[in-house]
Chains A and B, each alone.
Chain A
Amino acid sequence: MTTLQTARPPVQTGRQAVQYPTKVTIDARALFQIMSHALRRKPDQPRVIGTLVGTRSDDGNEVEVKSAYIVPIDESEDQVDINIEYHKEMFQLVRRVNPESVILGWYATSTKLDNLSALIHDFYSQEHGTYPHPAVYVTVPTTEVSDIEVRSFISSPIRLPGDVGLGNCIFLPIQNEVVYTDTDNSAMTVVNKAASSRMRNAEVFSDIANLDQTIAELIESIDKVQTYVRKVLNGKSEASVAVGKYLYRTLTLLPMLSNLTIEELYESYLENVLAVVHLTQAVKTQLELTSELTPLV
């Protein structure tokens, strides 16, 4: 009977055992880069692939993808040509900006997991890739009709006894997450605004409308909580201890202030603000005067 071996062991490379990553975090920046790379696909090209750059945790358990660059490839039926020179040069350039970056693996703009993917993965696990660490493979579906669901894989060699061929491996999915920092969120607000316009455009500025929206969101969340609490009180809904504890903690954080005190605090803050504005306006007037008067002398 033939046996099929799949393995996810710490593989021996040289003397040291190497830890396979179990989690991939992808910066929003890298995801957006990959998506814009997807637009550069030539009509005869099945997918765009490229290198993932970022950092690896000390134990090798987690990798963080910070950016990505395209690598030109030539894919045909059964073979693939990777422009290795390009890949090497580009990495050197990227490293000059972020010296701590390392190569983490590769991405493709389709979800294909075929024999050629295995060959490319093989290349990325070697000398010009992540060696001695294992490479990760991230797929972002852009050619399929589907949601943009990012998935990450590592590979595990499979082998029929007696087989020595390259490109035999199985892709094992691992946990991944796209991370939005505060900065990314503020950028995302603008992108979301553009998404809801017909021309897919939006002006970049902050305004009252923003504030309006935020207040609406706040009121909505409070309403949500209130409806839930009422339901629980009426016995219509199951009470959750976790939610209860969370709400209790949040409420105790609020300082106990009478409306009057709050009003006073508001007033005094407002007065300060107005005083500052008054001063800046005085400065501005002085500036205007100087600029108008100097040429007269």
Chain B
Amino acid sequence: MPAYPEFGTADQVELDAAAIFQITRHLHDQFPRSAGGILLGMELEGTIEVTETFPLPPSASEGDGSNLRSKAILEYQSQMIEQLKQVGSDTQIQGWYVSSSLGAIYEQSFLDNMFFYQQQNRDAVMIVHDVAMSRETSTLVLKAFRLSQQYLSARRENKFTTESLETNNLDFHDLLEELPIRVHNSCLTNLLSTQNSQQVPTLKQLEVPNRTLVENNIEDILDSIDDFNYDQNNYNYYQRQLIREKQKVHAWQQRRRAENAALEAAGKPTQSVEEWKVLFKLPEEPSRLDNLLISAQLHEYCEQIEELAAVASTNLVAPKF
């Protein structure tokens, strides 16, 4: 019986400069293949400090995320941690990092992996680096997430029915909880940074977002909407089924009552009205998790477009002043 994760108390993530370079370079080198790795560090007074990272072999992140928890990968992980322990690294697993493309982060496998790590360490986080976005906009798109308290309690009951979503107060906004990330420099890094301060400025930030970027983003939205409709149709089908069955039950109950009235008049014992539960089977509500995921993803895409648009409009308007 797996232990269910308690909810972490940390409220921010702090990355070492070396960790940032390792994460971004690894993921960029692998792009467009998705890749991932492990974050090591410790939790200190509400801050998750990531001081060391290591990449996982490519097979780890291909296909569905279950591979990340496969035996070979876990073995690799523990070997690597054993090695790093000998040279004085932090060895507590603080979660994992993974690449994403244009904000696609709401995947079932991501949630499953996250659940796995949060089971082991309640303060585990997932760091998502949006490679495509970072490339296009020349900025560092790095975000930290963990599963929300609401999702964890819904998952504990292992059902995602409307009712359980209601009681756990879970809607698509709060599947994941975002934590702020900050970078922390060692004195050495600071020295290097001040030394190189006369770097060539990157003017790429001034460009208005590439048209293809926005186009791809809109295509993603359209795909998501299709998924959403498909899921919604399923749900509507379920609802129609449910109503039909309920009508049948109702009709049956009416008949029963009428019979009962007749029996009563004749002075005979009445029959139970509740027997319908044996005779009829109400359709089971499909899991609402897909719907949550798709909604959250769609929402994320929209946010992203708005963000791009914000950049675009400021870039367009700012030079006028």
Binding site for B on A (CB under 8 A): 27-29, 31-33, 35-40, 42, 67, 70-72, 83, 86, 89-90, 93, 96-97, 142, 147-148, 180-195, 200-204, 206, 208, 210-211, 214-215, 217-218, 221, 266, 269-270, 273-274, 276-277, 280-281, 283-284, 287, 290-291, 294-295, 297
Contacts and interface: CB of A to CB of B under 8 A. Distances in A.
Contacts of B56: 97
Nearest to B15: A204
Given A32-B189, A35-B186, A281-B302, A294 B235 contact: yes
A72 B189 contact: no
Nearest to B141: A206
Nearest to B302: A280
A252 to B, nearest CB: 19
Contacts of B16: 36
B158 interface: no
A287 B28 contact: no
A283 B192 contact: no
B12 to A, nearest CB: 9
Interface residues of B, number: 90
A127 to B, nearest CB: 21
Given A200-B190, A280-B221, A283-B225, A33 B18 contact: yes
Nearest to B242: A297
A203 B14 CA distance: 9
B246 interface: no
A96 B76 contact: yes
Interface in B226-258: 232, 235, 239
If over half of A's interface residues share one DSSP class (helix, strand or loop), that class is named, otherwise mixed; here it is helix
B70 interface: no
B195 interface: yes
B183 A210 contact: no
B166 interface: yes
Nearest to B239: A297
A72 B87 contact: yes
B24 A187 contact: yes
Nearest to A150: B192
A240 to B, nearest CB: 19
Contacts of B155: none
Interface in B168-226: 171-172, 180-197, 199, 201-206, 208, 214, 218, 221, 225
A269 B214 CA distance: 12
A291 B183 contact: no
B306 A280 contact: yes
A83 B83 CA distance: 12
B121 interface: no
